[in-house]
Amino acid sequence: MSIGSVQTKFFHLDEPFPLDSGESFDAITLAYETYGTLNSDASNAILVLHALTGSQHAAGINKTLPGAESLWTDDCVVGWWDTFIGPGKALDTNRYFVICANYLGGCYGSTGPRSLNPRTGKPYGSQFPQVSAWDVIRSQLQLLDFLGIDCLHAVIGGSMGGMLSILLATRCPHRVKNVLPIATGLETTVLHRVHNFEQILSIRNDPKFQGGDYYDTEPPKEGLLLARIISHKTFVSLAIMEKRARQEITIDQPIGQFYELSNPIESYMFHQGKKFAERFDANSYLRIMDMWQRFSLNAQQPALFEKCAHQQYLIFSVDSDVCFYPEEQKVIVRALKAAQMNVKHITVHSDKGHDSFLLEPDLYAPYIRFVLD
């Protein structure tokens, strides 16, 4: 059963919000959505942390987003985890109160580079400060305080959202009972850094980027398109990529004066990049990518899970994942076992690669329900 129509809400923190970088906001806004009903003692809340380019719109139908209409394309209308959240689904809204917020630095309603800088009256652009993973978690804890939630029943996230879920659980262990990271890791690997740096350069080298101050002109969509092509090859398996290319895309798209698309794979990747460039902001991409580049939780640190004895962990791997390889989840599991934690590790067998956690709820739902119950 679907949740139906939903609307984004906005939490305004009207007080200074210091950042790890040493800079500070005078105030911040977080865009968020909730599904289900918070019970009387606020013990049934689940926080969902989205992936790199996700949004607060995790479930249901949301046809418009005030302030970000130009980015709210058809691809954004249905919640990105709609098959996981709702009555009777993995995150059962008949039982749980589910929250998802757009990250600080994002482009879907939370304070980000597109937002107006109150000191200048213009979009922050290049003046938007560096945001850390811990800044993001602290801002969402402020939202939980506003909602009256002292301790989450669970925090769950895939990819970058999984990294942030572990950060929340280990920095603030008293705020969560169950931790469900999916297809993620404890640190940014060398391969991540290389792929991410390629994407960063593709945006910064777009002539329309203009150092980040492009909001009164045309945005750097070519750079974003290329960044998405670079990243997309780690999200889906080659077999699925080939299958989708044969089924969905034609090759009649010109991409410039000196080169014509020569096969469906090129056309498919170009199409994915072009769609993405219509729905995301280049500055937000760079800020969140920078956050990823600087992320690290030292698995060898004995005290990492020292205060987490009351927590239960469910770690998911995807056997065909080439973004966060299954070996990365094994590092998490070893660290948890060394700390004598309650941990379950499930390897999902899928041909869809990293994106499996977005596309195949039946492979995850039974285990999620078991741990949440």
Kindly list the catalytic residues.
159, 321, 354
Q: Specify which residues 78 forms β-bridges with.
A: 61
* Local structure of residue 102 (DSSP, 8 states): P
> Would you state the structure tokens that stand for residue 144, as one six-digit string?
């939980």
Alpha helices in the chain (DSSP H): 74-77, 133-147, 160-171, 190-204, 221-232, 238-248, 264-279, 282-293, 326-338, 356-359, 365-372
Residues annotated in a binding site: 228, 355
With H, G, I as helix, E, B as strand and everything else as coil, classify residue 244.
helix
Residues annotated in a binding site for substrate: 228, 355
Cβ atoms 357, 318 nearer than 8 A:
yes
Amino acid making up residue 148: G
Q: What are phi and psi of 115, to 5 degrees?
A: -70, 155
Determine the Cα–Cα distance for residues 333 and 335; give it in Å rounded to an integer.
5
3-state helix, strand, coil in the chain (%, to 5): 40, 20, 45
> Would you state the structure tokens that stand for residue 49, as one six-digit string?
């942390």
> Would you state the structure tokens that stand for residue 334, as one six-digit string?
């070893």
With H, G, I as helix, E, B as strand and everything else as coil, classify residue 81.
coil
